Amino acid sequence: MKMITSAAMVALMLGLAACGQGTTSRAEGLAGAAGDPILVEKPRLSADIEAMPRLSGDSPAIVRINAELDRLDATAVADAGECGRMADSQEGDGWTRTITRPMTGPAYLTLREHLEIFCGGAYPSTSQTPITWDLSTGERVNWVALLPGLGLVQDQAEEGIPTDYVYNVRSPRLETLYERKMLAEATDAERREACQDVWKPLTDDELGQGFRVWADAEHGGVAIDADYAHVVQACGGTVYLTADEMREAGAPAALIDALAAGKTAGNWAPREDAEAAE
């Protein structure tokens, strides 16, 4: 979980982030279809902190998303500063952030924050936090409502947690689906043996494991990743719902069609296939 920063520090960093100017691109050269969002690439916030891109335009939805991206950048700078102060009195290597773009249209935008943090203590930590926005409203996608067939429940907000914190979703059906897919894709016998207790089915009505969910154009489906505890993080991985599985989960046709269109258009970054061809 991210460290909590003071309101004063966040306000200061918001002002600094607003001063930065960037260049306009289709998410690092993505071959987007007409009407896909144009991303404005921003200068790095520091040598170790990549900035979130911004959306070009001034519609209410874009203004809402860009305001949230401002806050996320401000929080990143503040968290990195707090980590540095903690590491001053302990052994630590710092705070690093990179951003990937699993979907840049149509209809949805997903950005994923990748953190590597070592502010002192026994071991470093890593996290990958995705957020998917509905480009028509500027709001985060409500996966509980968008995938009703999975019976999802979102973790409850906790006092003192930052406004933009991304909460997990969970349900027995989601956990069973995830574990079935992980077992099917685990070809390494040693990993299957090591993780079989982690991937075991639920035996009662508990909600169980928490998950992060996002729209992923590269795979043309909804992505699901378990938010495992550090000690069993090696058993985690991302699985993807097919179009049929999304329909079974009650996903609207608009989401399924947008994911298929985004995959066809190549609306994601980084584009490893394109880089390899150059």
Decide: 95 and 80 in contact? Cβ < 8 Å.
yes
Q: How confident is the model at residue 229 (pLDDT cuts 50, 70, 90)?
A: confident
Decide: 94 and 80 in contact? Cβ < 8 Å.
yes
In the predicted model, what is the mean pLDDT of the chain? 83
Distances (CA, A) of 168 to 23, 142, 229, 265: 33, 11, 13, 29
| Global confidence as pTM | 0.84
Predicted pLDDT of residue 6? 36
- Higher-pLDDT residue of 115 and 1 is 115
Q: How far apart are CA 17 and CA 164, in angstroms?
A: 17
pLDDT of 145 over the 80 cut:
yes
> What's the average model confidence in pLDDT over 141-158?
95
Q: Which pair of tokens denotes residue 47?
A: 């040598």
Q: How far apart are CA 239 and CA 180, in angstroms?
A: 10
Predicted pLDDT of residue 277? 41
> What's the average model confidence in pLDDT over 222-243?
92
